[in-house]
Amino acid sequence: MLRFAVAGLAANKVRSALTMLGVLIGVASVILLLAVGNGSSVAVKDSITSLGTNALTVSSSASRGSVTAAKKLTVEDAKALATATDTPSVKSVAPVVTTSGTALYGNISYQPGQIVGTYPAYFETSNLKVGKGDYFSADDVLNSRKVAVLGSTTATELFATEDPVGKKITIGGTPFTVVGVLKTKGSTGFNDPDDVVIAPLPTVQNAFTGFGSVNQILVQASSAEATTEAQSDITRILMGTHAIKDATKVDFRISNQTSLLSARESTDRTFTVLLGAVAAISLLVGGIGITNIMLVTVAERTREIGIRKALGAPRAVILGQFLAESTLLSVIGAGLGVLVGIAGSHFPVVGIKPVVIPESVLGAFGIAVAIGLFFGSYPANRAAALRPIDALRHE
Amino acid sequence: MRAAKPPVIQIRRVTKSYGHGDAVVHALRGPMTGGGEPLGVDLDVAEGDYVAVMGSSGSGKSTLMNILGCLDVPTSGRYLLDGTDVGHLDEGQLSLVRNRKIGFVFQSFNLVPRTTALAQVELPLAYAGVRAAERRRRATAALGLVGLADRAGHKPNQLSGGQQQRVAVARALVTAPAMLLADEPTGNLDSHSTEEVLGIIDGLNARGRTVVVITHEDEVALHAKRVIRLVDGAIVSDVRQAPVDGPPPALAAAAGVVA
């Protein structure tokens, strides 16, 4: 039967090839588009882990509906969070001030993306690893030492190939000793996380921002699961320090990196589903192509069907023959589509590196074969149902 | 002894009409009653007989052939083929009957395109579920019988008309059917090929195969032992040219010349 099917397809090579092309494009686009969608969400997942999943950022906000200006976050707020004894969910607290300025080394001048003043806990919470030298210590913070840790981009800009550790740089007139260089983290979005200078909080406050408010308080939850609990603990403590009774009128905002990114991830999922739907439609069109071609084939071979029936071919044999042909079309088309899809996913598409989902390969192949059977069954049934006398009269 | 056997074909009051109401056309009607109602056609064909059904186009001979070949069902009446009433069979059983009891030879050869002669002849055996080795053996033997053993690997477009028709004859007889049903088997052939094909059919009948030939050519009818003429869906004459038991007239004549 398979031999008959192959011979039937070979009788019309161009037509069979074009039909297969329809299925091929359908299967390849399902695999490829889903891989692109998946690749984009894999990239997001990677950036979640690189951002530090347990990090919570507390920032000041103007409370809506309140006439009074929002109370700024202060180092005292951070200390209240750090010293609270009944909050096992909070692992560490780092107040953060950010500013900008120009760094000088010798005659090289460079403006880093951000100058950050904070506590040593910041490094762990933000998932920053030191590559050369060391982090600054709590002792450096207590004594307001003029030390700094550079991001890799900043280090390269200022020192090129030189080893920055131990060198002195000047930022806004204040000399800093470089104690460490961070490992390259890689860009996760619009800003380069490696383009920073990180120094002890009081040093930065002293030199730039003054000892008023802080921009953010970075809190590390004890685990990824504890972030929700930590969030409510922070809210409770800060409502105390800010003397707010109404939970709807808080003047600060707690954002969770994970929740931000999972929002992006769900956007990605929608994107993937849409891509998949478009691809599925092209697969469907490929299937309709099979129906069309098989109908033409049946019409063309009506007489042959009549002969076979006159010779005593049972209905099932005719049905099987045409089904085998349409399934063979879709199997070969789908097989080639899988190859093209996998080959195509080795090339980045609009900046996204596609990551093939193994299920999509099996799924697309399976659906294509099922489509061959389904869309082939109508013409095959028509062939099998032909009355031999009508089929024989057909010219 | 042979007379004791039931006829291969028994047709009783068979009619076939197309259309409805005023537009009804009786393709096969037999004699009419006084009221204009068709009585239907009666026909018996004994085993080993060689019957030529003659008539001009529109006489109902093709309709009769389709009914005899179980390709079409009569509007009314009974048809017993080799003792089986085929009127009550469903589609699947009919295809089985066609496969086992009837060997078809058509005017336009009706070979399956792109298929070698050997595979053509194997087809009915394949549908009958015969195993591959046995199939090959019987198909080769049948091709040998029609003198085409050396053309087994040829496809229809590589064969002449006469050769194609001989392949069709081989295909018709390979299942050892109860009846060989030929519809204008020589209609598309030149005189030389006609003689070849008729000679083969004569030979088959001489070996006891029942043959029904539909034709409008008198030369073809001369080969038959019995000639039936149809006019307007009714049998108008039934002439026996040679006994059922004997050889077909053409072979008998040839033997007579030699003797």
Q: Does A305 touch chain B (CB under 8 A)?
A: no
Q: What's at A225, amino acid-wise?
A: E
Q: Does B104 touch chain A (CB under 8 A)?
A: yes
> Among residues 39-68 of chain A, which lie with CB inside 8 Å of chain B?
none
Q: Does B157 touch chain A (CB under 8 A)?
A: no
pLDDT band at A49 (very low <50, low <70, confident <90, very high): low
Listed range (A54-68, A218-232, B194-208, B226-240) with the worst mean pLDDT: A54-68
pLDDT band at A51 (very low <50, low <70, confident <90, very high): low
**pLDDT at residue A48 is higher than 70:** no
Provide the number of CB pairs (under 8 Å) joining chain A to chain B.
Answer: 60
Return the residue of B nearest to A6 by Cα.
Answer: B114
Interface touch A307/B112, C-beta < 8 Å: yes
- Condensed to tens digits (0 to 9), the pLDDT of residues A96-129 reads 888 888 888 888 888 888 888 898 888 887 778 8
Mean pLDDT of chain A: 83
- Condensed to tens digits (0 to 9), the pLDDT of residues A304-330 reads 888 888 888 888 888 988 888 888 888
**pLDDT at residue B129 is higher than 80:** yes
Q: How many of the other CB atoms lie within 10 Å of CB of A145?
A: 18
Interface touch A304/B96, C-beta < 8 Å: no
> Among residues 171-210 of chain B, which lie with CB inside 8 Å of chain A?
171, 175
Contacts of A304 in chain B (CB under 8 A): 112-113
pLDDT band at B198 (very low <50, low <70, confident <90, very high): very high
Rounded Cα gap, residues B229 and B26, in angstroms: 17
Q: Does B109 touch chain A (CB under 8 A)?
A: no
Closest in A312, A317, A387 to B98, CB measured: A312
**pLDDT at residue A212 is higher than 70:** yes
pLDDT of residue B259: 43
Cα angle B164, B169, B173; round to 5: 150
Listed range (B90-94, B152-156, B163-167, B205-209) with the worst mean pLDDT: B90-94
> Among residues 25-84 of chain B, which lie with CB inside 8 Å of chain A?
66, 69, 71-72
Q: Does A1 touch chain B (CB under 8 A)?
A: no
Provide the residue ranges of all domains of chain B, joining segments of one domain with +. Answer: 48-73+89-258
Dihedral Cα A352, A355, A356, A359, nearest 10 deg: -120
Closest in B72, B100, B128 to A389, CB measured: B72
Q: Does A6 touch chain B (CB under 8 A)?
A: no
Q: Which is nearest to A231 in space by CA: A97, A128, A121, A87?
A: A87
Q: Does A304 touch chain B (CB under 8 A)?
A: yes
- Condensed to tens digits (0 to 9), the pLDDT of residues A143-173 reads 888 899 988 888 888 888 888 888 888 888 8
Q: Does B113 touch chain A (CB under 8 A)?
A: yes
pLDDT of residue B202: 92
Q: Which is nearest to A110 in space by CA: A193, A171, A166, A151?
A: A171
pLDDT of residue B174: 93
**pLDDT at residue A353 is higher than 90:** no
Listed range (A40-49, A135-144, B24-33) with the worst mean pLDDT: A40-49
Average pLDDT over residues B24-51: 86
**pLDDT at residue B164 is higher than 60:** yes
Better-predicted residue by pLDDT, B209 or A78: B209
| Residue in the structure block whose two tokens are 């009788």 | A11
- Length of chain A equals 395
Give percent helix, percent strand, percent coil of chain A, each to the nearest 5.
55, 15, 25
pLDDT of residue B212: 94
CATH dotted code for B48-73+89-258: 3.40.50.300
Interface touch B106/A303, C-beta < 8 Å: no
Contacts of A309 in chain B (CB under 8 A): 95, 98
Shortest alpha-carbon distance between residue B236 and chain A (Å): 26
Provide the residue ranges of all domains of chain A, joining segments of one domain with +. Answer: 2-46+263-393, 62-250
Contacts of B111 in chain A (CB under 8 A): 307
pLDDT of residue B2: 47
pLDDT band at B245 (very low <50, low <70, confident <90, very high): confident
> In this structure, is the dihedral angle defined by the CA atoms of residues A20, A26, A27 and A33, taken in order, positive or negative?
positive
Shortest alpha-carbon distance between residue A21 and chain B (Å): 25
Closest in B72, B91, B123 to A311, CB measured: B123
Interface touch A306/B96, C-beta < 8 Å: no
Listed range (A71-85, A117-131, A155-169, A367-381) with the worst mean pLDDT: A71-85
Q: Does A14 touch chain B (CB under 8 A)?
A: no
Q: What's at B153, amino acid-wise?
A: G
User: What tokens were used for B134?
Assistant: 């046995």
Most B CBs within 10 Å, among A13, A300, A302, A307, to test the B interface:
A307
DSSP string across A42-55? HHHHHHHHHH-TTE
Average pLDDT over residues A337-343: 91
**Residues A203/A149, Cβ–Cβ less than 8 Å:** no
Listed range (A73-87, A160-174, B221-235) with the worst mean pLDDT: A73-87
Rounded Cα gap, residues B210 and A158, in angstroms: 107
Task: Indicate the angle between helix axes A358-385 and A315-344, nearest 10 degrees.
Answer: 150
ipTM score over 0.95, yes or no? no
Return the residue of B nearest to A304 by Cα.
Answer: B112
Return the residue of B nearest to A310 by Cα.
Answer: B98
Shortest alpha-carbon distance between residue B34 and chain A (Å): 33
Percent share of chain B, pLDDT over 90: 42
Better-predicted residue by pLDDT, B236 or A44: B236
